[in-house]
Structure 1
Amino acid sequence: MAQNNQVLPSKEQTLFRHLVQNYESKQYKKGLKAAEQILRKHPNHGDTQAMKALILSAQGKSDEAFELCRAALKNAMKSHVCWHVYGLLYRGQRNYEEALKAYRFALKLDPDSVQIQRDLAMLQIQMRDYEGYVQSRRAMLTARPGFRQNWTALAIALHLSGDLVGAEDVLHRYEETLRQQPSRSDMEHADAVLYKNMIIAERGDHEKALEHINSIMRTALDKTAVMEMRAEYLLKLDRKEEAKEAYTKLLKRNPEHRAYYEGLERALGLDRSNGDDHEKLGEMYHGWAMQSDRIDAARRIPLDFKQGDAFRSHADKYLRRMFKKGVPSTFANMKQLYSEPAKKAAVQELVEGYLSEEPQVNGGAEKTEETNGSVDGSHKAEAKPKTDPSITWQISVNYYLAQHYNYYLCRDLAKAEQYIDKTISLNPSKTDYTYHMTRARILKHRGNVSSASTAMNEAREMDLKDRYINTKCAKYQLRNHQHTDAISTMGLFTRKEAVGGPLGDLLDMQCVWFITEDGESHLRQNHLALALKRFRAVYDIFVAWEDDQFDFHSFSLRKGMIRAYVDMIRWEDRLREHPFFTRAALSAVRILCMLHDNPELAKGNLQNGESAENAAERKKAAKKAKREAEKAAEAEKKAKAEKATAKADEGGEVKKEDVDPEGKEGLKVAAEKPLEEAMKYLQPLLELSGGHVDGQIAGFEVYFRRKKYLPALRCLLAAQRIDPEHPKSHEQSLKLRHALGNLSEPLPEKAKQVTDSEFLSKQPKDQSIEAVNEEYLAKHKDSASHIHAAVRVRQVLQPESADAKARSVEDLVQSLRCENIMLRQAEDGLAVLLELGVEVEAREKYVQAARERWPEATVFGAR
């Protein structure tokens, strides 16, 4: 029978306390030893079994830990320790619902336990159970009202739950309990006061927020935040004269902050969209620009609103100033203006006119050397070698034009290459890699990723200590499928002792950009196993970032960083809007859809879009290389295992060995239920990136394959709202219409009503799907992406028609002659061709036409 109140003798009680201390200090070997000593004499002591289970879980032995904890619960069903540990184990498995139940049961058994109450509260905020979090924080405040963190935490709970009045009242009541004013150096109090002001402002009571901010200005530690908040409130209250003064003070502190200039504009009642205000705006910015020769923002911002001759005149002055100084980032600062064709043309004309000019150096006005020491400059700094102003001018102008013609809105790669070669020949410093990087970018845009990788590596070798160019080089190597070289390049800045080598360290350090680029490179090569493994690693990194909140729920309160904590909570809520998650998730969904369409891909028998004959030829040619690769992989696996064992820490925790380094087993598991696996990646995209058209397109593809036509229709309609002209909208619309017209069994009545009213009723009734598609193709014959969409629809409608395939090949070849086609679109066209399963001759016809357009593109087998 279970012993619910097991009391240990004095010696074992001491051992148990040591056991708890060993766990908290991560001395797991010692903790296990203490647990075994207790269990030898008391084998059914539930609390000891539970603590042992907790240590086993920390060592990665989850199954064993759960089994032992369940045994502990049988032996001590009414032990709060056992239930608390049970909750911790579930929390470690991210099963928050079960963890919450266990915590609540533990709290019933020990209502006064501060630790259980704290863990419960942390789990509630992690799950965004704000109602439960408020209750927990009220209970903790009632139990310990003298502890400031409990007041602050309750205010945060009320704030996040939407009760702004209650949050403000809690902070106010705490201030009333203070017998003496906290010292000015009390950072926790200073941040709590600003947090209170933030809550008042979010309520919309800007008058009260302004009064409050005025009352704390002198004692506040974050002076910049106070000044910014005050200026914002004055502006919203339409007290423009005071707002003008406030923003003027802010600009004196930081004259490069664009938001301050925008605030000053509004305070002066000036509107950039009103042409009548441009003169006054120009005077305002001119006044700020004259305050210092170093200020750039006041000189650059007027280019955003000036037009015509005024723009040309100001751009001329700005560009001449930058080129005389030899600022390499001038183009990066100007390219935003290129969205307006007139400004783009004006800038191009100006800069090309500078090629034949020499810089005008004002005699004696420009400083040729800096002084250091006395005011009269009697102690001169060591003179630095100066570049001839005419050379600096020519380098700057040529470098700008190289970037200008490399930019996608005005791309002329022949001119870009001409200007960058001139820049490099003029450059007196042969160790400056900046210009060589641009040369590599131009080669990349030509499609010559091999030469681009080589050029970027040459640039890297000019400065081996620079991390930026090192990572840029690795990225280019991955684009050229040089995985080993890329890892070696990154290895120059990774920990030498890391388990798994440089790649293991990059995974540990959560280097998302490298993992994503590596996965995309493998996907381009049809290495689906490794590609999916990389994208799953990115997914796991975002899960880890989500779990990392646990540390900050208590840390931020302890340190008093309340505003930053609230910002973090809100950022975490939108975490999966991150561009790298979107890229990885979309690529993973694509792979999983491919596995659904062609399960043979998981066995490695076929590559995507490959015929059986070509597959046999490829396998025969690669047989020897495959055996050698397997031997190398086995040797590497063995070495990694040995190294991992050697890297066990003092607590006995060992780094997990990667039992599937090639990702083949993971691919096979994913291939069993690929669409269910795809939902794991898709759901966050649809929930958090509703305005992202690619997410909606991916959602349609998954739901369509699952034959869930209503969710598929919802994604289609969302995509059409976001971008009505997107080629995929046409493709998916006709695919859905075709599927609904060829159902094996009718839809449920309600689903049929929705599809009829929202979709089918809006389709042209007097035209067949084939006719609609061909009309669409004729209408968009000058757009490669639209041609690809029409060809895919034709393949769905006539999958076995030789005539349809022949016409599709001709249409795809014709798409290469579109005036505005980009290299990436041509690559997409090749992918569409492979999906058709055409003969080698037809494929070669497309490739040959593409080579004529992009003779250097390696993707088309350029030599």
Structure 2
Amino acid sequence: MADINKLQSKENTLFKSALRFYEIKQYKKGLKATEQILKKNPEHGETLALKGLFLCNLGRKEEGYAEVKHGIKNNIKSYICWHVYGLVNRLDKNYEEAIKCYTQALRIDKDNIQIVRDLANLQIQMRNYEALNETEFQLVNLRPNLKQFWIGLAFSYYLLKKYDSALKVLEAFESSLKEKPVETKYEVSEMLLFKNLITEESGDLEGALKHLEQFEDKIVDKKSLLESRARILVNLNRKEEAEKVYRELFDRNSNCDSYLQNIFKCNNINLENPSDDDVKKIIEINKGLLEKYPKSLILRRTPLIYLKGEEFNTEMKDYLKTYFIKCVPSLFNSIKNIFNDAEKAKAIESIALEYYDQIVKNGKFDGDENKQYPTTYLWILIFLAKLYDHKREASKALEYVNKAIDHTPTLVESYMLKARIYKHDNDLETAMKIMNEARELDLQDRFVNSKCVKYMLRNGNIDEAEKTAGLFTKADSPSPLADLTEMQCIWYEYEKAMAYAKKGNNGLALKLLHQINTHFKDIYDDQFDFHVYCLRKSSFRAYIDLLTYEDKIKSHPYYFKAAVALIRLYLKLNSQPRKTKEELENEKFANLSPSERKKAMRKARKAQLKNAQAQAEQNQKNDTNKKVDDDPDGEKLLNAKDYVEECIPFVKSLLEFAPTRIETHILATQVYTLKKKYLLALKSLKKSYALDKNNAEVINNIDQFVKNFNADKDTVNATSRKIIEEEIAKIAK
């Protein structure tokens, strides 16, 4: 009886070709090759598994998984079948299952270097550092001559904070080489800086400092060298030496605020709550630096933060006059934080008005011989308009911005500022129209176009906004939204979601907010491609930064905004009675006559079919795995069984990544109260109360919590009930 898992020579060659097609991502050709093999060997397990892999990459996942499982069933002892099953799970971002598959493959072929490498990538993706360390050790044993595997092992020890072991691995690798490999200066430099970082984090600061001195000539990244040296010297309390290094760094970049702050700290200045002596030191140091770097904006601004009274007025007069003459558009923003001090804000307003009067009367500043150019007057007007807009005095702000427009009718910034004033005054219709005027002054400016789109969405003009956004999207894209989604244009999706929510189109609002969540998942998944690349390219410190950034990706402001909006929308839907599909459609087309309603519904269905067809055609053109949108209107999201349950993952993310925001705890309280998880609700209720006990939502949450808890008191276990009653008594009135 013939072995179903053995191929003849011709089919074996075809199988190798199919593997090659997978490597170069020619999935259709690979699929044809596997189908040719299966004509003669229909039950060949490895070919069936490989066929499934190609199908999955072509978007036919159901068929693909079935073929892979069929292949494993026919040849359960094949490492190839298990490896392929792992690849399929990895493609689906199901990393835990992929790890199980790779582990099974390695039981069959324990020394397969490709599978071991793939396993290491998955382990670091899942942040399973202990297992990663074992896998990297295995790779070193398999190929002890490959630098990349030694680096990987050292890196795994570093991630485990086993710094001594990491250094020993690097030293063992170097000593094992009979001849030094040919390396670029960059690779040597990065290796030395990585070693230095390990030494520093191990606590051996003296050793790290000596290491920098020993290899200074081989480190090409001088900025990183100086920053490391300065940081180590500060931690060694050798502040005088550290100050010299920070001054050297400041010489390289005299507009770097962190270098300046560190110079102050090296002089034992308390920047959080400076005394009078501290302020004197700051001004003295700043003055000395300003003489050397007269063009430094940061040095010109620093005294304004710390000086008070007449000294502040004198400094501010000089500052404003200098940058009015230079016509700096960002002048107001550069001192915006100073407006938190009411006395200083009043002084700034008085000085700006004084300069305005001088220019209007004489065309020059008092004490000057020469008259100013007309642009000086223009930018004083814009500054005053921004100042009064900041104070939310719309009439005064409009007075000055209108004068600026009359003076120079072609300056885009003036129209944008005027639109913003109207926006802050809640006149969104006028704000949108004026922002569109600004856009029409410069049709090539993407930034102004984007601002106009945002104003259109805020005013509810969704179709017009999409059309305007489409002026800067790909012409061959199915729609502007499709291109913006592909580019992960989160601000647009968020603003559009809010516009849909305001109009009551909750399905599309949910869809767009979930799309933002998908973007953040994709950004996290995208790091997978860099696990091998960064170690191969010796980008160790950049790789550490990448891992740190990815671990905190959901602390991004737009994730927070989208998660909060999503939870609020779900809670709103939960508080309302469910509507049938007919009721939702009737509500959507409520303002239309029966004939217009039929026409609109027919048009919507056609658009839905056209979108699905366009995406299907795109999938056929491209040899890639692209999903067809099976829920273009968000109806599936709207028909979720339990709206409150849908909130849980987002509440958990907010609690982990935004634990200091009151919105996080307000929403967590509401969600956990509804889910009858009273201890969790109480925990967030207490935190929100501590942040702002007078907040209206916090007060309402207390009342609702007490009401719900009292209704369910008998179902709560005695210990929990006692804790809750004691704690709630402290905050409930």
TM-score, structure 2 normalization: 0.94
Q: Please give the residue correspondences for 1:577-656 in structure 2 after superposition, counting only pairs within 5 Å.
A: 577-601=555-579, 603=581, 605=583, 619=590, 621=592, 623-648=594-619, 652-653=623-624, 655-656=626-627
- The one-letter amino acid of 1:458's match is E
C-alpha deviation, 1:597, in angstroms: 2.2
- The one-letter amino acid of 2:152's match is A
C-alpha deviation, 1:329, in angstroms: 0.4
In the alignment, the residues of structure 2 paired with residue 622 and residue 544 of structure 1 have an alpha-carbon distance, to the nearest angstrom, of 43
Instruction: Find the counterpart in structure 1 of residue 385 from structure 2.
Output: 402
In the alignment, the residues of structure 2 paired with residue 210 and residue 650 of structure 1 have an alpha-carbon distance, to the nearest angstrom, of 58
1:510 and 2:492 are equivalent in the alignment:
no
Q: Please give the residue correspondences for 1:474-553 in structure 2 after superposition, counting only pairs within 5 Å.
A: 474-498=453-477, 500-553=478-531
User: Tell me, what secondary structure is at the counterpart of 2:80?
Assistant: helix
- The one-letter amino acid of 1:480's match is N
Deviation per CA, 1:626-678: give whole Å up to 9, x if none: 4333222233234334433443466644744333322223312x2x1222222
1:645, 1:654 within 8 Å by CA — same for their partners in 2? no
In the alignment, the residues of structure 2 paired with residue 624 and residue 397 of structure 1 have an alpha-carbon distance, to the nearest angstrom, of 57
Which of 656, 660, 683 is 1:714 aligned to? 683
Which of 720, 723, 733 is 1:751 aligned to? 720
In the alignment, the residues of structure 2 paired with residue 347 and residue 590 of structure 1 have an alpha-carbon distance, to the nearest angstrom, of 40
1:189 and 2:178 are equivalent in the alignment:
no
Q: Please give the residue correspondences for 1:187-336 in structure 2 after superposition, counting only pairs within 5 Å.
A: 187-272=186-271, 273-336=274-337
In the alignment, the residues of structure 2 paired with residue 123 and residue 13 of structure 1 have an alpha-carbon distance, to the nearest angstrom, of 30
In the alignment, the residues of structure 2 paired with residue 61 and residue 560 of structure 1 have an alpha-carbon distance, to the nearest angstrom, of 38
Instruction: Find the counterpart in structure 1 of residue 650 from structure 2.
Output: 681
2:46, 2:75 within 8 Å by CA — same for their partners in 1? yes
- The one-letter amino acid of 2:374's match is I
Greater CA deviation, 641-650 or 551-560? 641-650
In the alignment, the residues of structure 1 paired with residue 542 and residue 247 of structure 2 have an alpha-carbon distance, to the nearest angstrom, of 27
1:286, 1:299 within 8 Å by CA — same for their partners in 2? no
1:445 and 2:424 are equivalent in the alignment:
yes
Instruction: Find the counterpart in structure 2 of residue 472 from structure 1.
Output: 451
Deviation per CA, 1:153-205: give whole Å up to 9, x if none: 11221222222232233223333334556667332332121112122222233
Stretches of structure 1 that go unaligned for 5 or more consecutive residues are: 367-387, 608-614, 765-771, 773-863
C-alpha deviation, 1:461, in angstroms: 1.3
In the alignment, the residues of structure 2 paired with residue 283 and residue 156 of structure 1 have an alpha-carbon distance, to the nearest angstrom, of 45
In the alignment, the residues of structure 2 paired with residue 525 and residue 225 of structure 1 have an alpha-carbon distance, to the nearest angstrom, of 52
1:716, 1:729 within 8 Å by CA — same for their partners in 2? yes
In the alignment, the residues of structure 2 paired with residue 322 and residue 585 of structure 1 have an alpha-carbon distance, to the nearest angstrom, of 41
In the alignment, the residues of structure 1 paired with residue 730 and residue 269 of structure 2 have an alpha-carbon distance, to the nearest angstrom, of 47
- The one-letter amino acid of 1:446's match is D
Deviation per CA, 1:205-234: give whole Å up to 9, x if none: 322221112222221121111111112222
Instruction: Find the counterpart in structure 1 of residue 76 from structure 2.
Output: 77
Greater CA deviation, 317-326 or 718-727? 718-727
In the alignment, the residues of structure 2 paired with residue 598 and residue 108 of structure 1 have an alpha-carbon distance, to the nearest angstrom, of 55
After superposition, the Cα gap between the structure-2 partners of 1:171 and 1:532, relative to the gap in structure 1 and judged at 3 Å, is same
Deviation per CA, 1:106-151: give whole Å up to 9, x if none: 0111111111111111111111111111111111112112111112
Instruction: Find the counterpart in structure 2 of residue 432 from structure 1.
Output: 411
In the alignment, the residues of structure 1 paired with residue 180 and residue 268 of structure 2 have an alpha-carbon distance, to the nearest angstrom, of 41
After superposition, the Cα gap between the structure-2 partners of 1:212 and 1:67, relative to the gap in structure 1 and judged at 3 Å, is same
After superposition, the Cα gap between the structure-2 partners of 1:245 and 1:704, relative to the gap in structure 1 and judged at 3 Å, is same
Which of 532, 538, 541 is 1:563 aligned to? 541
C-alpha RMSD over aligned residues: 2.4
Deviation per CA, 1:560-606: give whole Å up to 9, x if none: 21111111111111111111111111111122222322242474737
In the alignment, the residues of structure 1 paired with residue 596 and residue 182 of structure 2 have an alpha-carbon distance, to the nearest angstrom, of 72
1:431, 1:463 within 8 Å by CA — same for their partners in 2? no
Greater CA deviation, 628-637 or 678-687? 628-637
In the alignment, the residues of structure 2 paired with residue 636 and residue 619 of structure 1 have an alpha-carbon distance, to the nearest angstrom, of 20
After superposition, the Cα gap between the structure-2 partners of 1:43 and 1:331, relative to the gap in structure 1 and judged at 3 Å, is same
TM-score, structure 1 normalization: 0.80
- The one-letter amino acid of 2:636's match is E
Instruction: Find the counterpart in structure 2 of residue 457 from structure 1.
Output: 436
Which of 623, 629, 648 is 1:658 aligned to? 629
- The one-letter amino acid of 2:80's match is V
After superposition, the Cα gap between the structure-2 partners of 1:564 and 1:137, relative to the gap in structure 1 and judged at 3 Å, is same
C-alpha deviation, 1:105, in angstroms: 0.5
After superposition, the Cα gap between the structure-2 partners of 1:238 and 1:248, relative to the gap in structure 1 and judged at 3 Å, is same
Instruction: Find the counterpart in structure 1 of residue 343 from structure 2.
Output: 342
In the alignment, the residues of structure 2 paired with residue 623 and residue 680 of structure 1 have an alpha-carbon distance, to the nearest angstrom, of 42
In the alignment, the residues of structure 2 paired with residue 178 and residue 640 of structure 1 have an alpha-carbon distance, to the nearest angstrom, of 60
C-alpha deviation, 1:533, in angstroms: 0.6
Instruction: Find the counterpart in structure 2 of residue 371 from structure 1.
Output: none
Instruction: Find the counterpart in structure 2 of residue 735 from structure 1.
Output: 704
In the alignment, the residues of structure 1 paired with residue 584 and residue 661 of structure 2 have an alpha-carbon distance, to the nearest angstrom, of 32
- The one-letter amino acid of 2:706's match is R
After superposition, the Cα gap between the structure-2 partners of 1:464 and 1:362, relative to the gap in structure 1 and judged at 3 Å, is farther
Which of 385, 393, 398 is 1:417 aligned to? 398
1:157 and 2:156 are equivalent in the alignment:
yes
User: Tell me, what secondary structure is at the counterpart of 1:278?
Assistant: helix
Which of 691, 701, 723 is 2:692 aligned to? 723
Instruction: Find the counterpart in structure 2 of residue 114 from structure 1.
Output: 113
In the alignment, the residues of structure 2 paired with residue 56 and residue 317 of structure 1 have an alpha-carbon distance, to the nearest angstrom, of 70
Stretches of structure 2 that go unaligned for 5 or more consecutive residues are: none
2:185, 2:218 within 8 Å by CA — same for their partners in 1? no
User: Tell me, what secondary structure is at the counterpart of 1:44?
Assistant: coil
After superposition, the Cα gap between the structure-2 partners of 1:58 and 1:208, relative to the gap in structure 1 and judged at 3 Å, is same
Instruction: Find the counterpart in structure 1 of residue 374 from structure 2.
Output: 391
- The one-letter amino acid of 1:727's match is A
1:303, 1:314 within 8 Å by CA — same for their partners in 2? yes
After superposition, the Cα gap between the structure-2 partners of 1:519 and 1:177, relative to the gap in structure 1 and judged at 3 Å, is same
In the alignment, the residues of structure 2 paired with residue 341 and residue 624 of structure 1 have an alpha-carbon distance, to the nearest angstrom, of 61
In the alignment, the residues of structure 1 paired with residue 629 and residue 435 of structure 2 have an alpha-carbon distance, to the nearest angstrom, of 32
In the alignment, the residues of structure 2 paired with residue 343 and residue 132 of structure 1 have an alpha-carbon distance, to the nearest angstrom, of 58
After superposition, the Cα gap between the structure-2 partners of 1:251 and 1:362, relative to the gap in structure 1 and judged at 3 Å, is farther
Instruction: Find the counterpart in structure 2 of residue 14 from structure 1.
Output: 13
After superposition, the Cα gap between the structure-2 partners of 1:601 and 1:304, relative to the gap in structure 1 and judged at 3 Å, is farther
1:28, 1:651 within 8 Å by CA — same for their partners in 2? no
Seq. identity, %:
34
Which of 698, 712, 726 is 2:667 aligned to? 698
- Which is richer in helix? 2
Greater CA deviation, 658-667 or 9-18? 658-667
In the alignment, the residues of structure 2 paired with residue 141 and residue 441 of structure 1 have an alpha-carbon distance, to the nearest angstrom, of 61
In the alignment, the residues of structure 2 paired with residue 617 and residue 469 of structure 1 have an alpha-carbon distance, to the nearest angstrom, of 32
- The one-letter amino acid of 2:282's match is L
1:315, 1:347 within 8 Å by CA — same for their partners in 2? yes
- The one-letter amino acid of 1:659's match is D
After superposition, the Cα gap between the structure-2 partners of 1:651 and 1:743, relative to the gap in structure 1 and judged at 3 Å, is closer
In the alignment, the residues of structure 2 paired with residue 34 and residue 616 of structure 1 have an alpha-carbon distance, to the nearest angstrom, of 53
1:27, 1:651 within 8 Å by CA — same for their partners in 2? no
Deviation per CA, 1:219-252: give whole Å up to 9, x if none: 1121111111112222222323322221221111
User: Tell me, what secondary structure is at the counterpart of 1:204?
Assistant: coil
2:439, 2:452 within 8 Å by CA — same for their partners in 1? yes
C-alpha deviation, 1:305, in angstroms: 1.2
User: Tell me, what secondary structure is at the counterpart of 1:405?
Assistant: helix
- The one-letter amino acid of 1:335's match is K
